[in-house]
Amino acid sequence: MVVALPVHSLSGTDGGDSLQYPVDVAARYSNVMSFRVAGKLLERKVRLGDTVHRGEVVARLDPIDAEKQAAVARAALDAAEHRLVFARQQLDRDKAQFAQNLIAANQFEQTEDAYIAALAGRDQSADQSVVARNTLQYNSLAADHDGVITSENADTGQVVTAGQAVYGLAWAGDVDVNLDAAASDLGKITSGQRADVTFPALPGRHFAARVREVAPAADPQSRTYRVKLTLAQSGPEVRLGMTGDATLSPPSQSTVAGGVPMFRIPATAIFHRGKEPAVWVIRADSTLELRPVTVRSYAERSVIVSGGLSNDESVVLAGVHTVYAGLHVTAVKPLFADEVSDEIATPGAMNAGPVPINARPGTVNAGPVAGSVIPQ
């Protein structure tokens, strides 16, 4: 007889303990708002925390120089268009005269060249006029997206350079809940993993979330990995900068092990064949088979294994070093079978180490001691 129980997969999870980390709320997308040209900051229209809409002007530079440049560009364009009109008229006259052999061929070629040069000059002036108009528009800073102003980086009257930060803008819409995970926990966090988020500012509220992104590299200062969660339903009450706690559920089976079932068994069931872990499985003919397994993680009194096992197969729980392959045995449940089953099903349950097996009916104190094996 051997102490054994059937095993069951852990309902699609790897059976690992949940992870809990502090979190903070941040906009999924944000950007620095800056002018595309240099100039003196003449006006700021919004302040920290204000809501802005796409296309709304939030700041202006002194536009005098840009207006003058635009006026010069318009005048140059007008002159180029007049030259082009004259060159076209001259070309039409010379073409008619050349057809009647009234002018020399080289004179007609010069007229054609003048027209082409006038046409190119007009196009150049038109492009310069567009650039001048754009430069004038760039003196007004407009929001590219709906959002909230999160920082002010320049003061009225300050001379700013092109690209210098003036405002920080957090885009409206989806928000992320960010946490910084330790390297030791990184293997337990995967994209799509479920989480439960709570905020002290919203007592009694729980928000479902999923892991959206796990940073591929550690932060150079903290050496932690940024993990971004997406709330299923955030609502307006979840505000940017709000802090809370996130509890990450154990990763799903399909995510962690590519669909391989996971099993929680007592640590005493593990037998090491050399350096490889294995368990003793009772086959249909009541003989023992040493089955290699993969240990996913170790708990205080149990281990999570994958590979090599199937649902409802009986695994020897104790005395694994006193049996051998092919031994004909009879499985006997442990004395506290229910508690051992809890240990196999859930983390943190009772110790499932060597336990005494039941005495045979009709005997008193005749059962073998814990972990013993009686060959058939």
Lowest mean pLDDT among 116-120, 175-179, 258-262, 370-374: 370-374
Of 6-20, 63-77, 298-312, the range with the highest mean pLDDT is 63-77
Strand 159-160 vs strand 165-171: parallel, antiparallel, or unpaired?
Answer: unpaired
- The pLDDT of residue 360: 34
What's the gap between Cα 31 and its chain centre? 18
- The pLDDT of residue 336: 59
Q: Which of 204, 296, 292 is nearest to 250 (CA)?
A: 296
If you average pLDDT over residues 176-183, what whole number do you get?
93
If you average pLDDT over residues 324-343, what whole number do you get?
74
The answer to whether residue 53 scores a pLDDT higher than 80 is yes
Burial of 30 (0-12, 13-18, 19+ CB in 10 A): middle
Q: How many residues does the chain have?
A: 376
Mean pLDDT (the chain, rounded): 84
> 292 vs 302, which has greater pLDDT?
292
- The pLDDT of residue 290: 92
- The pLDDT of residue 17: 63
- The pLDDT of residue 312: 85
Instruction: Kindly indicate the confidence band of residue 9, based on its pLDDT and cuts at 50, 70 and 90.
Output: confident
> 375 vs 227, which has greater pLDDT?
227
The answer to whether residue 181 scores a pLDDT higher than 70 is yes
Q: Which of 24, 29, 47, 44 is nearest to 150 (CA)?
A: 47
Which of helix, strand or coil describes residue 134? helix
Cα dihedral sign for 318, 323, 326, 327?
negative
Instruction: Kindly indicate the confidence band of residue 363, based on its pLDDT and cuts at 50, 70 and 90.
Output: very low
Of 156-170, 344-358, 362-376, the range with the highest mean pLDDT is 156-170
pTM, to two decimals: 0.56
